[in-house]
Homo-oligomer: A and B are copies of this chain.
Amino acid sequence: MASWSKAVRRSSSFGWPQTTGFKSRKCNVDRNKGELMLNLGKLHFGGDYNPEQWPREVWKQDIELMQRAGVNLVSLGIFSWAKIERKDGEYHFDWLDEAIELLHQGGIAIDMATATASPPAWLTKAHPDVLPINFDGVRLSHGGRQQYSPASKVYQQKAAALVEQIAKRYGNNPAIEMWHVNNEYGCHSPYCYSEQSRQAFIEWLQKKYASIEELNAAWGTDFWSQRYYDWDELVVPKRTPDGTHPNPGQQMDFKRYSSDAHLELFKMERDIIRKYDQKRPITTNFMSMKFTYAMDYFKWAKEMDFVSTDHYLAQHDPLNHIDLAQQADLTRGFADGKQWLLMEHSTSAVNWQPRNYAKTPGQEFRNSASFVARGSQGSMYFQWRQSQAGSERFHSALVPHAGSDTRVFREVSELGAWLKSNPDVANYPTDQANVAIVYDYEQFWALMQANLPTQDINYAETVAKWYRAMWENGTRVDFVPADASLETLSKYELVLMPLVHMLSEQEERVFHDYVAQGGNLVVSYFTNTADRTLRVKLGGYGGKLVKELAGVYVEEFYPLREGQGALSNGYKIELWSELTRNLSADVIAKFVESDVDGSPALTVKSHGSSKVWYQGTELKLGSQRKFFKSITKELGIESEGGESTEVVRRGPYKFEIDHEKNKVKLRNN
């Protein structure tokens, strides 16, 4: 793999430590911190299995059809709480025992769920404070799913008791290959504004801040007379008077608390399972999707034995295979480059988008191949058999309403056979890229807030545009967190920083060290504008990163009007311009046709063999592609594929997927 070895070679020339590289891990079960990795000798294929929705006679047909389709793993019991625990403390496992036995006999491994994802009606009836309260104070109702507050003590106790029962009963069951804690944490109820949540938020804040005075300083409460003198005065960021919004620091900390509160639920369940099973890995399914933001998955991933995720295509987007690639790469980033598992996606249409377009013939094969190329240990779905009732009855499955004599079942069976015939792929992680994009959920949270220079700042869209520009250029990228270590950054020749609005002093220093050691950066506008409390860094926007590393002085932001602004080199821009002065950089292009004509817009500054590019505007896609192409060319970073084709390697295996021609090639070099 040319580019990887090149990166290693270059890194040594800057005195970077020789890393062992990903390859050394390829055949081992990795036990970071004593945790367990998923099975590497297998590409998994199957999906959520909900036998409780069907009569017993269907179960036997299921096993037979699974075998025909090549299914080797099913997720069992995700929404079974109400079926298992029929009243407080009264558990019914007979039906589940039977399903497990049937699967086991059929040779289908089980991803055993903890069933805590949706509490039963008897529980929320008896304990309404399990139910979450929304921003407007409305207590949400039973009838959908995920109707619990992470701060609810009763929820915590009842969920723990259920998991204890399940783990005790099945902890040694040979049918089980892995554990599936809860489901899509924070998907529907990430934020609860109840009194219990307020108490939990205060406890969380008391751990973070040494004193109420420190909190006042962090939140800037002298603005608008918001100062607190006692912890108990603190509130969750509920609706405030019209045209105002809760304090920005309060909002940020509440989002941090909320991610942590759900993570605590995960850890509670994980630790219970671990008591009864020290052998099988434990995960929970993330939702790596473009607009999903509530859980800080980089932080969560550290608590998983292996990373798994769900992904659903934006069906209206004809280029959704690029988003798929991005989310797969991001998930691999959570997994620190290791293999991961696609736990859910769809065989065809979903049910929850405005228009639920079905997949075209061959599309699902391409999609699955792309996931596997980018590190997934297989292809799992929601769900095995399409539900006859309930909200998701029009969500596709491996077995459609129309049965097995269907396009969908035939296509997934082909896929199952293909996965089965390539087990060795699973032994290799996806090759590392030479370029990394910094991704950080806290930036997402910060840039979602009101009262920014323009409401058009869209973290997800800008990151997606940068990713797409690279993808279409044929340049592979990895994702790294904003608090990446110097060791992590040093694996990459080039690090991209799109809208990394907040950086702590410590984090900022790591990027300086990275450059000092030979790394190259592309820094966008509005990056390093504030510290992690959203306090603006004074004396020229972007702090030292922009003033010293990029050599540009940013004096004032000038959001662009529709149609306004261009660059002197012909690049097309939108949304943003800045009144800047060049301090010590080479100016690549200046703003024209704007209110800041003559201000440098694109610059580069050399630090020995390192270079730092500054991009003080939002480039339109074509121009972003050109800009990145010029940079990767200058750095000698090679590309492969591009336009409509992606080329990805897992060790000796080369995946070549042409999305226009609808073709997948897998070769063993």
Q: Distance (Å) between the CB of A136 and the closest chain B CB?
A: 5
Residue A534 at the B interface, CB < 8 A?
yes
Q: Distance (Å) between the CB of A56 and the closest chain B CB?
A: 13
Residue A452 at the B interface, CB < 8 A?
yes
Quick one: which of A532-566 are within 8 Å of B by CB? 533-536, 538-541, 553-559, 561
Q: Find A358's partner among B222, B230, B558 (CB 8 Å cutoff).
A: B558
Instruction: Encode contact with B along A282-309: 1 for CB under 8 Å, 0 otherwise.
Output: 0000000000000000000000000000
| Contact assessment for B121 and A240 in the assembled complex, using a CB-CB cutoff below 8 Å | no
Quick one: which of A328-374 are within 8 Å of B by CB? 348-349, 351-352, 354-358, 360
| Contact assessment for B539 and A244 in the assembled complex, using a CB-CB cutoff below 8 Å | no
Quick one: which of A208-240 are within 8 Å of B by CB? 219-230, 232-240
List of B residues within 8 angstroms of A561 by Cβ: 316, 355, 357
Whose C-beta in chain B lies nearest to the C-beta of A405? B555
| Contact assessment for A389 and B219 in the assembled complex, using a CB-CB cutoff below 8 Å | yes
Q: Distance (Å) between the CB of A388 and the closest chain B CB?
A: 5
| Contact assessment for B53 and A220 in the assembled complex, using a CB-CB cutoff below 8 Å | yes
By size class, the interface of chain A is: 35 or more
| Contact assessment for B243 and A451 in the assembled complex, using a CB-CB cutoff below 8 Å | no
| Contact assessment for B122 and A230 in the assembled complex, using a CB-CB cutoff below 8 Å | yes
Residue A246 at the B interface, CB < 8 A?
yes
Q: Distance (Å) between the CB of A90 and the closest chain B CB?
A: 10
Name, among A53, A220, A249, the residue most crowded by chain B CB atoms within 10 Å (CB to CB): A220
| Contact assessment for B246 and A388 in the assembled complex, using a CB-CB cutoff below 8 Å | no
On whether A579 and B407 interact (CB within 8 A), knowing A241-B147, A250-B143, the answer reads yes
Q: Distance (Å) between the CB of A354 and the closest chain B CB?
A: 5
| Contact assessment for A389 and B241 in the assembled complex, using a CB-CB cutoff below 8 Å | no
Q: Find A144's partner among B189, B219, B245, B392 (CB 8 Å cutoff).
A: B245
Whose C-beta in chain B lies nearest to the C-beta of A187? B243
Query: What is the predominant secondary structure among interface residues of chain A facing chain B?
Result: loop
| Contact assessment for A233 and B125 in the assembled complex, using a CB-CB cutoff below 8 Å | yes
List of B residues within 8 angstroms of A86 by Cβ: 229
On whether A389 and B87 interact (CB within 8 A), knowing A356-B454, A400-B556, the answer reads no
| Contact assessment for B145 and A224 in the assembled complex, using a CB-CB cutoff below 8 Å | yes
Q: Distance (Å) between the CB of A89 and the closest chain B CB?
A: 13
* A132 vs B451: C-alpha distance when bound (angstroms): 23
List of B residues within 8 angstroms of A220 by Cβ: 53, 387-390, 393
List of B residues within 8 angstroms of A250 by Cβ: 143
| Contact assessment for A355 and B455 in the assembled complex, using a CB-CB cutoff below 8 Å | yes
| Contact assessment for A226 and B146 in the assembled complex, using a CB-CB cutoff below 8 Å | no
* A143 vs B244: C-alpha distance when bound (angstroms): 9
List of B residues within 8 angstroms of A248 by Cβ: 389-391, 393
- Copies of this protein in the assembly total 3
Residue A52 at the B interface, CB < 8 A?
yes
Q: Find A141's partner among B229, B235, B390 (CB 8 Å cutoff).
A: B235
Residue A447 at the B interface, CB < 8 A?
no
List of B residues within 8 angstroms of A188 by Cβ: 241-244
| Contact assessment for A387 and B223 in the assembled complex, using a CB-CB cutoff below 8 Å | yes
| Contact assessment for B452 and A394 in the assembled complex, using a CB-CB cutoff below 8 Å | yes
Whose C-beta in chain B lies nearest to the C-beta of A575? B355
* A122 vs B235: C-alpha distance when bound (angstroms): 11
| Contact assessment for A451 and B391 in the assembled complex, using a CB-CB cutoff below 8 Å | yes
* A203 vs B292: C-alpha distance when bound (angstroms): 41
| Contact assessment for B144 and A224 in the assembled complex, using a CB-CB cutoff below 8 Å | yes
* A534 vs B229: C-alpha distance when bound (angstroms): 49
| Contact assessment for A222 and B538 in the assembled complex, using a CB-CB cutoff below 8 Å | no
Residue A142 at the B interface, CB < 8 A?
yes
The interface-forming segment of A77-85, A100-108, A432-440, A613-621 is: A77-85
Residue A401 at the B interface, CB < 8 A?
yes
Residue A408 at the B interface, CB < 8 A?
yes
Q: Distance (Å) between the CB of A53 and the closest chain B CB?
A: 5
Residue A456 at the B interface, CB < 8 A?
yes
| Contact assessment for A595 and B146 in the assembled complex, using a CB-CB cutoff below 8 Å | no
List of B residues within 8 angstroms of A534 by Cβ: 389, 393
| Contact assessment for B539 and A403 in the assembled complex, using a CB-CB cutoff below 8 Å | yes
Q: Distance (Å) between the CB of A412 and the closest chain B CB?
A: 13
| Contact assessment for A121 and B402 in the assembled complex, using a CB-CB cutoff below 8 Å | no
* A401 vs B530: C-alpha distance when bound (angstroms): 11
| Contact assessment for A141 and B237 in the assembled complex, using a CB-CB cutoff below 8 Å | yes
| Contact assessment for A137 and B140 in the assembled complex, using a CB-CB cutoff below 8 Å | no
| Contact assessment for A555 and B389 in the assembled complex, using a CB-CB cutoff below 8 Å | no
Q: Distance (Å) between the CB of A339 and the closest chain B CB?
A: 30
* A224 vs B383: C-alpha distance when bound (angstroms): 13
Q: Distance (Å) between the CB of A603 and the closest chain B CB?
A: 17
Instruction: Encode contact with B along A257-284: 1 for CB under 8 Å, 0 otherwise.
Output: 0000000000000000000000000000
On whether A352 and B243 interact (CB within 8 A), knowing A87-B229, A145-B225, A220-B387, the answer reads yes
Residue A519 at the B interface, CB < 8 A?
no
List of B residues within 8 angstroms of A453 by Cβ: 349, 351, 356, 394
The interface-forming segment of A63-71, A112-120, A474-482, A634-642 is: A112-120
Q: Distance (Å) between the CB of A307 and the closest chain B CB?
A: 23
* A316 vs B561: C-alpha distance when bound (angstroms): 8
| Contact assessment for B226 and A121 in the assembled complex, using a CB-CB cutoff below 8 Å | yes
| Contact assessment for A244 and B146 in the assembled complex, using a CB-CB cutoff below 8 Å | yes
| Contact assessment for A406 and B140 in the assembled complex, using a CB-CB cutoff below 8 Å | no
Counting from the closest, the 10 A-B pairs by CB-CB distance are A220-B389, A144-B244, A223-B390, A144-B240, A188-B241, A143-B246, A82-B227, A118-B225, A141-B238, A121-B233
What are 12 A-B interface contacts by the 8 Å CB criterion? A82-B221, A118-B226, A144-B245, A145-B241, A220-B389, A244-B391, A248-B391, A348-B556, A349-B556, A358-B558, A358-B579, A386-B536
Given A82-B221, A122-B230, A394-B452, 7 new contacts (CB under 8 A): A53-B223, A118-B226, A141-B235, A144-B224, A189-B242, A352-B450, A408-B556
